[in-house]
Amino acid sequence: MKRPIPTAALILYVLLLALGLGIGSAYAVLKGAPPFGARSFGPWHVWPKLGSAEADPYMRAIVARRGDIPLATGEGLALTALVDNSGRQLDSACSYRVGSSAPAARWWTLTVYDADGKLAPSELGRNGFTSPEILRDAQNGFTISLSRALSAGNWLQLPPSGPFSVVLRLYDIPGAAGLSMNAEDLPTIERLECGA
Amino acid sequence: MSNLTRILLATLCGLVLAAGVHIAAVFMAPSFAENDAFGRLQDTLAEDQAQIISPPGGGATWLPLPDPATAVAACAFDLSDGPVRVTAKTGQDFLSFSFHTKTRGVFFAVTDRAAIRGELELVVMTPRQLDEARAAEDPNEPTRDVRIVAPQEQGYIVVRVAAPYPSERMQAEEAAKAVSCTVDEDEDEAS
């Protein structure tokens, strides 16, 4: 006949399980992007409540862990793209065309970051464009080329290698624009060709 | 009870408790974070001027994903010393304030559109300080202060100044540095 497992051992097992799973899962979630409240527009992702008093506890914990200061709702909105229009991860070995319109805002900036979220050194010392400085075509649209090699027009140099991300920041947007935005207003990210 | 039942029961208890631990850990994370923005801004508590944390043009910064077209400056506050008055001179370009608590996120934001005659001035206070200021106020001479109630005593104010063209970076950085955040002595004495 089998001896019963001591109750003390079971209690220890319960506590270890609770601590291990609880803290482990919390750590795993907080390492990534906020799990709730994301909105997607084509390749762009945005957490409209990140910079508001209604941010959920996950958002607050993730902002604290990153040491980030999100744009407040009244200041603007930051949209992040990690993939192109077809859903493929943005890769520095490829070249991309970004355009041609942006939602209504007082001004916007579009910035390229490397895989660590840093501004990669570029030959022209430029990592982004702002809406006033960008060159536009006759229809008031714009095209930004993202590539490793020099290109004409609005060109941003990609980091030497690896994945990268693009952040579009819309500053001082009209009241409910964050909620009524749709994918057609946002620039598309088209992959052109992939070199070595 | 057989051993198998006991282990199953213990596992179930463990899972339920784990959910509780998960929730508690997520809720407590902001209070324990030391490398969060508030923790890094401790040095600015004693300063009367906002300190640059992310210069335009992509200089050294701890801020993740810095926007190279804006100058970001901040000053931490502790309202237990009295209300904090924050003042900025606004120009042609975009300037914004956002008000953050230590652990509960953003509680207010305003842009230079709200500026009066090129100046943006706000007073951050606790609900108690607001009551005191109202009680001390002369009804015939209402204050022109824009008062904002902070849900927490500790927090920080962030100012962002646009530099849409590279030539404006110096100017934006100067404008961000010129923002003053001072403990408002007058309000205390008036009470």
Show which of residues 13-52 on chain A sit within 8 Å of chain B, judged by CB atoms.
Answer: 13-23, 25-27, 29-30, 51-52
Query: With an 8 Å Cβ cutoff, are A51 and B70 in contact?
Result: no
Task: Select the residue of B18, B30, B67 nearest A109 (Cβ to Cβ).
Answer: B67
Determine the distance in angstroms separating the CA of B63 from the nearest CA of chain A, rounded to an integer: 6
Mutate which: A75, A82, A116, vs B, most B CBs within 10 A: A75
Query: With an 8 Å Cβ cutoff, are B37 and A51 in contact?
Result: no
Query: With an 8 Å Cβ cutoff, are A60 and B40 in contact?
Result: no
Q: Would you say residue A175 has pLDDT above 80?
A: no
Q: What is the pLDDT of residues A71-101, one digit of tens each?
A: 998 899 999 999 999 999 999 999 999 988 8
Q: Which segments of B33-95 does DSSP mark as H helices, in order?
A: 37-40
Looking at residues A134-139, what average pLDDT do you find?
Answer: 88
pLDDT value of position A46: 92
pLDDT value of position B148: 92
Long-range contacts of A85-90 (CB under 8 A, 24+ apart): A85/A42, A85/A43, A85/A188, A85/A189, A85/A190, A85/A191, A86/A191, A87/A43, A88/A191, A89/A163, A90/A163, A90/A164, A90/A165, A90/A166, A90/A189
Tell me how far apart the alpha carbons of residues B46 and B40 are, in angstroms, rounded to a whole number: 13
Q: Does B149 touch chain A (CB under 8 A)?
A: no
Q: Does B114 touch chain A (CB under 8 A)?
A: no
Domains of chain A: 8-194 (2.60.120.600)
pLDDT value of position A178: 57
Determine the distance in angstroms separating the CA of B185 from the nearest CA of chain A, rounded to an integer: 28
Mutate which: A1, A50, A60, vs B, most B CBs within 10 A: A60
Q: What is the pLDDT of residues B70-121, one digit of tens each?
A: 999 999 999 998 999 999 988 888 999 999 998 888 999 999 888 888 889 9
pLDDT value of position A140: 86
Compare all CA atoms of chain B with the CA of A49 and give the residue at the minimum distance. B106
Compare all CA atoms of chain A with the CA of B101 and give the residue at the minimum distance. A53
Query: With an 8 Å Cβ cutoff, are B111 and A74 in contact?
Result: yes
B84: nearest Cα among B40, B147, B7: B147
Q: Does A175 touch chain B (CB under 8 A)?
A: no
Q: What is the dihedral sign for C-alpha A8, A13, A18, A24?
A: positive
Tokens linked to A113: 């970051």
**Which residues make Cβ contacts (< 8 Å) with residue A120, sequence separation at least 6?**
A112, A113, A114, A127, A157, A158, A159, A160, A164
Instruction: Provide ipTM, 2 decimals.
Output: 0.87
Looking at residues A5-28, what average pLDDT do you find?
Answer: 92
